[in-house]
Amino acid sequence: MCNCIRAIRLFWLLFTFIFPNRGLSQAIDNTVSFRNINSGKYFRVFYENDFFSGTDRDYTQGIYIEKVNPWFKKFPFARVLWHPRGDEIKYGLAVEHDAYTPNFIDRSNVQYGDRPFAAALFLKTFLISTMPQKGERISTILSSGIIGPGAGGEQMQKTIHHWINYTQPRGWHNQISNDVVLNYQVNFEKEFFAKGQWLSLSSYNGARLGTLSDKMSAGFEIIAGHFNSPYIRASTPKKIQWYVYEQPVLNLVGYDATLQGGLFNHSSPYTIAASQVEHLVFQHRFGLVFLLKRLYLEYYQTGNTIEFKTSVYHRTGGLQVGFGFR
């Protein structure tokens, strides 16, 4: 217990020293080490919304539903994934829905200088390969779907705002036009320091290429608490796990269809010009995780610096629930 307390104090010292202004957004990443579940079979749901942080703009909402099962190795799209050699490989399928809005959602006219309305809906086929001897994890992800009205962002936001009796959006007719989503992503994590089962430090690198977004990422991850190592499959997993994590990442952005419009369809009513897009974006995530046998609970906040020259720093909160793992 003393080691856990010291780990948490160290974590908060680093956190408040490096990030004195905690802001907090961007699409959901399920394969990272601090979201590890020690099983090859589980079901998990994410829900992100900037309503948790008292705003309603930029990346306004994300919904993510995933299922991990060895059978998905036979899924046709899994065959195009890079299969790195690992002692343990998890296979999964997920559906993700993301929505983006400008600052004033009750205005029907185009809000020049602000983010355009946009929504994306896609299937994610992924695998996570773990190499305990090297302390490494490699994830490969294929996303395929649609950006535009066909993704149903307008209907989703209006329905949720009706449920919570909140402002109804009026500008979705100005959203990014329909186009294809086809993205390929590879993430690489390597643990470079571990102290028992209460502290883990890892590097994080990623590359994403496709029609939705192109970017390269580099950063690190801190996990502190009482947990099973995400790099080693525990023969007897802890019945109760709890920990906090922090992931600061620097992104080199090449293209973002939610800002610039689709790669093939150039009929969007309003987009952000390439010259206005910020190509260096700092992002971080902070969260708390609790696992009790077959239940996984997480609350987290994510955020990034400005994504285009006239945007603002934005924060988003999220919840995650998982169950059914062995």
Please tell me the total count of domains within the chain.
Answer: 1
Confidence of residue 294 (pLDDT cuts 50, 70, 90): confident
For residue 210, give the amino acid letter: G
Better-predicted residue by pLDDT, 288 or 232: 288
DSSP string, 218-239: EEEEEEEEE---TTS--SS--S
pLDDT(288) > 90: yes
Give, in order, the Cα–Cα distances in Å from 289 to each of 35, 116, 124, 190, 244. Answer: 8, 33, 23, 21, 6
Q: What is the mean pLDDT of residues 191-210?
A: 95
Name residues whose C-beta falls within 8 Å of residue 272's C-beta, 6 or more positions apart in sequence: 115, 116, 259, 260, 308
- Among 12-16, 78-82, 221-225, 287-291, the least confident range: 12-16
Dihedral of CA atoms 155, 157, 159, 165 in degrees, nearest 10, equals -150
- pLDDT score of 18: 36
CA atoms of 171 and 314, how far apart (whole Å): 20
Better-predicted residue by pLDDT, 206 or 300: 206
CA atoms of 297 and 198, how far apart (whole Å): 18
Spatial CA neighbour of 137 closest among 44, 29, 213: 29
Instruction: Label residues 291-324 b or e (16+ Cβ within 10 Å = b).
Output: beeeebebebbbbbbebbeebeebbbbbebebeb
How many Cα atoms within 13 Å fall on the side-chain side of residue 240? Answer: 0
Per this entry, what is the length of the chain? 326
Confidence of residue 326 (pLDDT cuts 50, 70, 90): low
pLDDT(316) > 90: no
CA angle centred on 300, ends 286 and 151, rounded to 5°: 120
- pLDDT score of 21: 35
Q: Could you read off the pLDDT of 240-273 as tens digits, one per residue?
A: 999 999 999 999 999 999 999 999 999 999 999 9
CATH number of the domain encompassing residue 189: 2.40.128.140
Better-predicted residue by pLDDT, 161 or 212: 212
- pLDDT score of 257: 96
- pLDDT score of 4: 45
pLDDT(313) > 90: no
| % of the chain surpassing 90 pLDDT | 65
- pLDDT score of 55: 53
- pLDDT score of 231: 93
Other CB atoms within 10 A of residue 133 CB: 8
- pLDDT score of 13: 39
- pLDDT score of 16: 34
Name residues whose C-beta falls within 8 Å of residue 243's C-beta, 6 or more positions apart in sequence: 34, 223, 224, 225, 226, 227, 288, 289
pLDDT(187) > 90: yes
The position carrying tokens 């008292």 is: 54
Spatial CA neighbour of 27 closest among 217, 173, 154, 188: 217
Q: Could you read off the pLDDT of 7-59 as tens digits, one per residue?
A: 434 443 343 333 333 333 346 788 999 999 988 899 999 887 655 555 555 56
Q: What is the mean pLDDT of residues 209-232?
A: 95
| % of the chain surpassing 70 pLDDT | 87
Give, in order, the Cα–Cα distances in Å from 65 to each of 44, 122, 280. Answer: 6, 11, 29
CA atoms of 41 and 190, how far apart (whole Å): 23
Better-predicted residue by pLDDT, 162 or 200: 200
Distance from the Cα of residue 131 to its chain's centroid: 23
Domain that holds residue 277: 2-323
pTM over 0.95, yes/no: no
- pLDDT score of 139: 96
